[in-house]
Amino acid sequence: MSTCPVCLNPARRIAIGTAYDVLCKVCGPYIIGYPLAHFLERERFEKRHILSGYIRNRSEQGVKEQIKDKEDMETILDSVSEPSGPFEAIDLLLKYLRRKGGKASEPVQLENDYSIVFAKDRNEFDNYLRMAHELGYIEHRKGGRCYKLKTEGWLQLDKLDKLAEQEPSLEIKLEDAEGFLARIKKEIEASSLEEDFKEIALYDLEQAKLAYQSRAFKACIVMLGAVLEGLMLGTIRRPEVLQRIQTDPPKIVKELGLNDPQLADKIAGELGFEDYKNIIHHLMPDIEKLHVEGIQTFRNTIHPWKTAKEPAIYKDPSQTRAMVHLTSLQLLAQHILSWTP
């Protein structure tokens, strides 16, 4: 039997052209270029468990990782954060048990699965299992290495979910885009915007999602800007917000004629993104303190002049930039839609 170049355990390995197709019981299935595979087999390498953990977690998400060369590997290692201690490793273990065992807490066989928690070997993994057991999170089922979640474990998972909801910007993973899109969708659906505005915003959001999925990140950010514009305008048109604007109007609204019965339609027809932004700032001066991308950057993305002047930021946006806008939009949407005068 051949070995897995990443974790050095016995593994099935087939040569295909210039790469190996590896099926490892620890790392899962993946493809790796010859030179990198040979390098990893030959050299002492401290970060095997991180690479192995990454490949395994990706395969759990249904992705068969392809690592062509050292550069690919470096990119991966830069993007992965291994658990900072046993407690974070145990959190990963709980998530795995939930994924595999489902809501019925079915027992899960944990044989060669130590890379799930980025453990270096089975001993380290067994230590986490023991600690999780001591904490009352899991219980051992007789016969083999079978474990299931207990009530305490579910409580801990609940805490983790809530933390992730409150502080989405703390640890952003690129794969989480769908989660943020879903949260924005929920915010819009639950809002008190007019039905027309909801529909338009939800359509634009769906377009942003399609763009993200096909890696058209600039198109994605542009559509997120359209969603934001809709949310700002829809909020300004809410009757109680309009009333507030009429008692303390920003200059631009005064010019439209405060007592005009068509004021809401005039705001929609005659003003644009910049004006909505200024009105929102006037109403909610604290919004730029959210520590997110400001509203303006959504607009700047489609300014050719901005793109020419600051290409590092606005030209050819990366997946990370799209993700930053996505997480920012989620917080902005939450703030704007829940605001009451």
Interface residues toward Zn ion, by CB under 5 A: 4, 6-7, 24, 26-27
Instruction: Provide, rounded to whole angstroms, the least separation between the CB of residue 224 and Zn ion.
Output: 39
Backbone angles phi, psi at 88, to 5 degrees: -70, -35
Residue 136 backbone class (left: φ over 0; alpha: ψ -120 to 50; beta: rest): left
Query: What is the H or E stretch that residue 106 is in?
Result: none
Task: Scan for tokens 């999780």, then name that residue.
Answer: 132
Identity of the residue, 20 or 298, whose beta carbon is nearer to Zn ion in the bound complex: 20
Sign (positive or negative) of CA dihedral 222, 227, 228, 230: positive
Name, in order, each residue with C-beta under 8 angstroms of 204's C-beta and a sequence gap of 6 or more.
Answer: 223, 226, 227, 230
User: Which ranges of 43-167 would DSSP assign to H, the alpha helix?
Assistant: 48-60, 70-79, 86-101, 122-134, 151-166
Q: Strand 65-67 relative to strand 108-109: parallel, antiparallel, unpaired?
A: unpaired
> By C-beta, is 46 or 134 nearer to Zn ion?
46
Token pair in block for residue 70: 């050292």
Nearer of residues 10 and 144 to Zn ion, judged by Cβ: 10
For the bound state, the minimum distance from the C-beta of residue 118 to Zn ion, rounded and expressed in Å, comes to: 13
Question: Cα–Cα distance between 26 and 113 in angstroms, integer?
Answer: 6
Separation CA 116–CA 293 (nearest Å): 33
Least spacing, CB of residue 147 vs Zn ion, in Å? 22
CB of 56 to Zn ion, least distance (A): 8
Q: Write down the least CB distance from residue 9 to Zn ion, Å.
A: 5
* Cβ(212)–Cβ(322) below 8 Å: yes
Closer to Zn ion by Cβ: residue 8 or 157: 8
Q: How far apart are CA 55 and CA 29, in angstroms?
A: 8
Q: Which is nearer to Zn ion, 26 or 73 (CB)?
A: 26
Nearer to Zn ion, 24 or 110 (CB): 24
Q: Measured from the CB of residue 2, what is the shortest distance to Zn ion in angstroms?
A: 11
Decide whether 71 or 121 has the Cβ nearer to Zn ion.
121
Q: Are 306 and 298 in contact (CB under 8 A)?
A: no
Smallest gap from Cβ 80 to Zn ion, in A, equals 16
